[in-house]
Amino acid sequence: MSWFKRNDEKKANHSNAPAPETREAEGLPEDPPDDMPPRAVPSALADLFLVMEEHLNELEREDIQALADKLQQPPQLVQQLSSGLDEPEELREAILSSPSLSADVLRVVNSAAFALTSPISSIEHAVTYLGTNMVKGLLLQSAVSQVMKFETDVQKAAYMRIWRGSYIASATAQAYAQALGLEHPSVYATRALLAAVGDLALISARPDMANIYAPKSDLLTRIEAQQREIMANSAVLSSILARQWQLPEDLFDALRHCLTPLTWPPGDNQRSASEQRDDVLVYLAGRVGDAVAYGQLKEVADFAPLASESPDFFYLHEYLRNPELGSLVGLLADKRYGGRVQRIIETFGQ
Per the prediction, the chain carries an average pLDDT of 81
User: Is pTM beyond 0.85 here?
Assistant: no
- Residue pLDDT, tens place only, 218-248: 999 999 999 999 999 999 999 999 898 888 8
194-214: b (≥16 Cβ within 10 Å) or e: bbbbbbbbbbbbbbebbebbe
261-298: b (≥16 Cβ within 10 Å) or e: bbbbbbeebeeeeeebbbbbbbbbbbbbbbbbbbbebe
pLDDT greater than 90 at residue 217 = yes
Q: What is the mean pLDDT of residues 325-330?
A: 82
pLDDT confidence of residue 248:
84
Distance, CA of 316 to CA of 261 (rounded, Å):
7
pLDDT confidence of residue 117:
65
pLDDT confidence of residue 100:
67
What percent of the chain stands above pLDDT 90? 42
Q: What is the mean pLDDT of residues 264-289?
A: 94
pLDDT confidence of residue 93:
72
Residue type present at position 154: V
pLDDT band with cut points at 50, 70 and 90 for residue 4: very low
Asked whether the beta carbons of 348 and 113 are under 8 A apart, the reply is yes
- Residue pLDDT, tens place only, 138-183: 777 777 776 778 889 999 999 889 988 988 898 899 889 989 999 8
Q: Any idea where the domains of the chain sit in the sequence? A: 39-69+161-350, 74-146
Radius of gyration of the chain (CA): 20
> Which has more confidence, 18 or 207?
207
- Could you please state the CATH topology (level 3) that the domain comprising 39-69+161-350 is classified under: Hypothetical protein af1432 (1.10.3210)
pLDDT confidence of residue 79:
67
- Residue pLDDT, tens place only, 140-151: 777 777 677 888
